[in-house]
């Protein structure tokens, strides 16, 4: 006769006990009808301690852990890929922003140069107006003396 222990005496939390019961049920379902005693014990909240039941439960948890590890590894790779993509996008965005800033600075330099040229042309225009006014005055004085 195989021994069993109440699953509530395993030092587990209520949610851990529920998880253990759930997985016991899965193992028993996979074992088929040959484990009617295990199903009976599980429904009474007891864990069978016979080597066969414990080995089946251990194998089930090993498979479950392997599946979890594979999923974790896959998600870790996906996270790294997404991180690299975002890093590349951020790098490209920074490069594009730097290029636009450089272009904007070049435009501002051109505006400054044009402003200097505009100021020069305006001063020359004022000088020309002054000369024109002086020529007009001289012409009027010359015509008045005649």
In a domain, 75, yes or no: no
Q: What confidence score (pLDDT) does residue 9 get?
A: 80
In a domain, 64, yes or no: no
In a domain, 44, yes or no: yes
In a domain, 32, yes or no: yes
Please give the share of the chain, as a percent, with pLDDT higher than 90: 56
The residue segments making up the domain with residue 3 are: 1-49
In a domain, 122, yes or no: no
Please give the share of the chain, as a percent, with pLDDT higher than 70: 89
Q: What is the pLDDT of residues 36-58, one digit of tens each?
A: 555 555 556 777 777 887 888 88
pLDDT average, residue stretch 114-138? 95
CA-closest candidate to residue 64, choices 35, 13, 22:
22
Distance, in Å, from the CA atom of 134 to the CA atom of 128, rounded to the nearest integer, reads 10
- How many domains does the chain contain in total? 1
Question: Model-level pTM greater than 0.75?
Answer: no
pLDDT confidence of 33, banded at 50, 70, 90?
Answer: very low
Distance, in Å, from the CA atom of 68 to the CA atom of 56, rounded to the nearest integer, reads 18
Q: What is the pLDDT of residues 74-113, one digit of tens each?
A: 999 999 999 999 999 999 999 999 999 999 999 999 999 9
Distance, in Å, from the CA atom of 27 to the CA atom of 43, rounded to the nearest integer, reads 13
Distance, in Å, from the CA atom of 54 to the CA atom of 114, rounded to the nearest integer, reads 88
In a domain, 10, yes or no: yes
In a domain, 25, yes or no: yes
In a domain, 103, yes or no: no
């Amino acid at each position: 006769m195989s021994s069993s222990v109440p699953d509530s005496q395993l030092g587990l939390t209520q949610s851990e006990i529920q998880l253990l019961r759930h997985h016991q049920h899965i193992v028993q379902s996979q074992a088929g009808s040959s484990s009617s005693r295990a199903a009976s014990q599980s429904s009474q909240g007891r864990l069978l301690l016979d080597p066969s039941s414990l080995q089946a439960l251990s194998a089930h948890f090993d498979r479950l852990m392997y599946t979890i590890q594979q999923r974790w590894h896959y998600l870790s790779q996906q996270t790294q890929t997404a991180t690299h993509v975002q890093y590349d996008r951020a790098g490209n965005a920074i490069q594009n922003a730097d290029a636009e800033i450089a272009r904007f600075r070049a435009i501002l330099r051109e505006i400054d140069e044009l402003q200097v040229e505009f100021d020069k042309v305006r001063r020359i225009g004022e000088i020309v107006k002054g000369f024109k006014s002086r020529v007009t005055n001289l012409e009027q004085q010359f015509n008045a003396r005649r």
